[in-house]
Amino acid sequence: MLDFFLIALAMAAGGGGSGSGSAAPQAAVAAAPAGAGAYVAEDQTPTGKFTTAAEVGQILELTKANWIGVREWDGQDLVYFTQILSWRCGLHEIRYAINGGPMQVYDMPPCHLDMAAPNAILAEDPLPYTVHPLGSVETVEVELLLDDMGVLTGSFERAAVRIP
C-alpha cells in the first residue's frame, strides 16, 4: 500500500512520466543564482505550516504578479516584498535587481518556527521594503531560491506593480 502511495505522489509531482507530458515547472529548470552554493536542499516533508518549498513553491508561482509592489512615499520609491515574505519559510534567499542593475540579496526576517504562523511578519522584524530615490525604479527582476534549490524568477515593470 505504501509503495502505491509513493508512486502516486511521485506522479502527481511530475515524476514517472514518459516525457510526453507538460513541461517541467520553472522552479525545476531554472539555474541557481550566483551564491547559491552556500545552501543545500532541505527536507521537503510537508509540515502543514508552509515552511518548505514543497508547500510554498506553487503558491509563489501562482501569485507571481503580486510578488512585489512599488510605492511612492515621502519623496522615495519603496519596493515592497511583503507577498514573498508571507511564504519566506520555504526560501533560502530573495535576490532582486533594480533597472537591470546587479542582483542584490534582500535581508529576510527569520522564520518564527516556534509560532503557529511561522511566516508571520512581526513588528520587530525588518521592514518589508527597500528604499530608492523617487521615480528611479522602472523595472525589478526577482529571483527566489527555494529551500529545495529550485529557482523562481519574475520581471516587473513599475506601472504593473505600482501601489497607489
Determine what percent of the chain is predicted with pLDDT higher than 70.
Answer: 77
Is 132:98 a contact under the CB 8 Å cutoff?
Answer: yes
For 39-88, how does the pLDDT look when each residue is reduced to its tens digit (9 = 90+)? 999 889 988 999 999 999 999 999 999 999 999 999 999 999 999 999 99
- The predicted model gives 104-111 an average pLDDT of 95
Residues with Cβ within 8 Å of 92's Cβ and at least 6 positions away in sequence, in order, are: 36, 39, 145, 146, 147, 149
- State the average pLDDT for the chain: 84
Measured CA to CA, the distance from residue 157 to residue 135 in angstroms comes to 13
- Residue 12: pLDDT above 70? no
